[in-house]
Structure 1
């Protein structure tokens, strides 16, 4: 269980935040923001527990942005328990 400010949460959980989606993936905090329009897509993710930051930029209609984001997250945080 991940702990912040004395509170416990499950290893995979999502939370609301004032500026961005915040979640726990494999017990690690993940802060991210993504968006897309015709012909473009972008995402940035901060992994504060590891010190990593990921940035994804696309300039193609139909680019698999969500799948790319998931692959990045797995590479940084490790596979989810259900994938082991």
Structure 2
């Protein structure tokens, strides 16, 4: 499943962002963040605006926060794999 998600990101990142609108564009910025892989960095270089810079910065901070939250949620639920005790 992880490889399918990665392939989806790569495939959608190949197409220009102006081909998508509405729900498809929302999905490319949230569920499958392909827009942040291909279209946004290319647009950032070719047509720099402060609005695009702030959007990219906001998305970066948002994804960092989600990764941080997921890590700490996993750490709270983590139990050591060496829980087997041998009594001698």
Give TM-score scaled by structure 1 length: 0.30
Q: Which has the higher helix share?
A: 2
Decide which structure has the larger Cα Rg and report it.
Answer: 2
Give TM-score scaled by structure 2 length: 0.29
Q: Which has the higher strand share?
A: 1
